[in-house]
């Protein structure tokens, strides 16, 4: 596994790591007891202790990289709560709460709303079905919004009204990539006004209209191969320099190095049995200072 210390001189010259603030949840109750995405097979055994160990490695790495990590208490009976990215969408100290599509996860929403309020966030309850940062990604000043499997098209209008920002809708068409954050990652969480952030995406996960939008708006984006997308390589987290990815996404690793990023490999294979990876376990908490 590469480490923060392996950052090359080229990376140091070209890329800046920005301190981030994340919300995570220990997978103390992790298991796969139902199926709400193609990755989940209840007949396949899961190892909660292994899931905890893998999650802890990710948590420790964030801390080592200088990021702040908050924790929400896991609730018994909600094994998917470890995937905190679905627990909300936060910009400028305002939190837009999820409204889950499936009843199996519905009970998580009040817990996330309570956490946001207690932490001092301006908390907005939704009317429309949405699954937080799973389907909403901030790229510069623009919200990229996914639909097709979980969050509805109507939630795109609502999230735009909540944050007063442009929303670009992208239709997902492959059920394996049921959230936007499984098919697209924002590599530059902080950019100068008017600057286009770097992104990476899996073209085959989007319909023709979505691919056209991405090609027009992000002509320099990294287009990731099917082999890397299929191992959740795009379900990654970046601070602008260090990009945490699946160790099996070797092609994506090489692409990142070519662009001057520092890929760091973290294995979350046990949590992938529930259909989640690195980004799924990571909800960004953007305060006014991180706008």
**Sign of the C-alpha dihedral computed for residues 116, 117, 120 and 122 taken in this order:** positive
User: 204 φ, ψ to 5°?
Assistant: -70, -10
Rg (the chain; Cα; Å): 17
Among candidate residues 25, 241, 280, 281, the one labeled active-site is 280
Among candidate residues 25, 67, 156, 179, the one labeled active-site is 179
3-state per-residue secondary structure call for 161-185? HHHCCCEEEEEECCCCCCCHHHCEE
Q: Is 25 a catalytic residue?
A: no
* 270 token code pair: 């046990």
The count of other CB atoms within 10 Å of the CB of residue 254 is 11
CA 157 – CA 142 distance, rounded (Å)? 13
- Give catalytic residues, as residue numbers: 179, 280
């Amino acid at each position: 596994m590469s480490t923060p210390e392996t950052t090359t001189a080229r990376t140091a010259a070209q890329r800046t790591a920005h301190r981030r603030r994340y919300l995570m949840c220990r997978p103390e109750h992790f298991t796969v007891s139902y199926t709400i995405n193609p990755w989940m097979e209840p007949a396949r055994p899961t190892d909660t202790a292994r899931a905890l160990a893998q999650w802890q490695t990710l948590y420790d790495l964030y801390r080592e990289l200088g990021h702040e990590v908050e924790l929400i208490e896991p609730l018994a009976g909600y094994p998917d709560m470890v995937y905190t990215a679905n627990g909300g969408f936060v910009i400028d100290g305002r939190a837009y709460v999820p409204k889950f599509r499936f009843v199996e996860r519905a009970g998580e929403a009040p817990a996330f709303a309570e956490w946001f309020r207690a932490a001092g966030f301006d908390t907005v309850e939704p009317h429309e079905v949405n699954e937080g940062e799973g389907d909403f990604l901030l790229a510069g000043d623009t919200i990229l919004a996914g639909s097709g499997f979980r969050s509805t098209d109507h939630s795109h209008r609502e999230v735009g009204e909540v944050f007063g920002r442009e929303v670009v809708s992208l239709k997902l068409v492959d059920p394996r990539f049921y959230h936007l954050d499984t098919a697209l990652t924002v590599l530059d969480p902080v950019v100068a006004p008017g600057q286009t952030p770097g992104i990476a995406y899996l073209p085959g996960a989007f319909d023709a209209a979505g691919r056209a939008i991405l090609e027009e708006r992000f002509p320099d984006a990294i287009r990731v191969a099917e082999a890397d997308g299929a191992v959740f390589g795009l379900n990654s987290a970046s601070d602008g320099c260090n990009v945490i990815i699946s160790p099996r996404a070797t092609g994506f690793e090489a692409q990142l190095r070519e662009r001057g990023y520092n890929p760091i490999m973290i294995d979350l294979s046990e949590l992938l049995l529930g259909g989640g990876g690195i980004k799924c376990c990571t909800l960004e908490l953007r305060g006014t200072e991180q706008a």
